[in-house]
Amino acid sequence: MDKMNPKKTRSLIAVLAVVLALLVGGALLFAYQSRSRDDSTATNSGGQQNGGQNAAAEDSFSADDFQLYESSDKKYTFRYPKQWENNASKLNEITTAFVAPKNEEFPNVHVWAVDPVISKCGQTSEPLTDVTVDGIQSKQFTESLEATKNKITCVEKDGLLYHITHAYTDKENTQVYAEVLNSFKFQ
């Protein structure tokens, strides 16, 4: 059996490496573009922003359908739907708010605060969007977990990084999350 020339072997390995790199790069580009399409928003006839795939399933609320939530430590307030409930059993040393539809866990909005050094906001590889909450420049991103998605807005105040999170499975409620963010006020 003939042995391959070492020079030809190196050339073959180089060609295979280039082909493999192009395949991986193409797959990553496809995944990124698919995610960008999924994350893009469409505007409905009312002018409200809705997540593309779940827009038809979203509940609709009027301004009168919201009530005020005040954190137990009196550090912030926000508005959430009256038909949702404050679930104090979900609170712990870092989670200071948890509201969801009555007798349901998802969708929900919860708030937790930690030292900025250990925050998810500084550790995510997800694209960050600039937003403003209570006059404070903040960052927002979406993470996909096994069974849920979390839209997280990170607001730094008084040495803590507050994570205002909308967790959902199949039904994102952009109207509720927008109202929470627009009404969120530090005391």
**Residue 1 three-state SS:** coil
Whether residue 105 is predicted with pLDDT greater than 80 in this model: the reply is yes
Identify the pLDDT of residue 16: 60
The residue with greater pLDDT, 165 or 46, is 165
Residue for token pair 């550790």: 123
Identify the pLDDT of residue 25: 53
Instruction: Name which of 115, 74, 116 is nearest 97 in CA terms.
Output: 74
Identify the pLDDT of residue 20: 55
Query: Is the torsion defined by CA of 91, 96, 100, 105 positive or negative?
Result: negative
The residue with greater pLDDT, 23 or 92, is 92
Whether residue 124 is predicted with pLDDT greater than 90 in this model: the reply is no
Whether residue 56 is predicted with pLDDT greater than 80 in this model: the reply is no
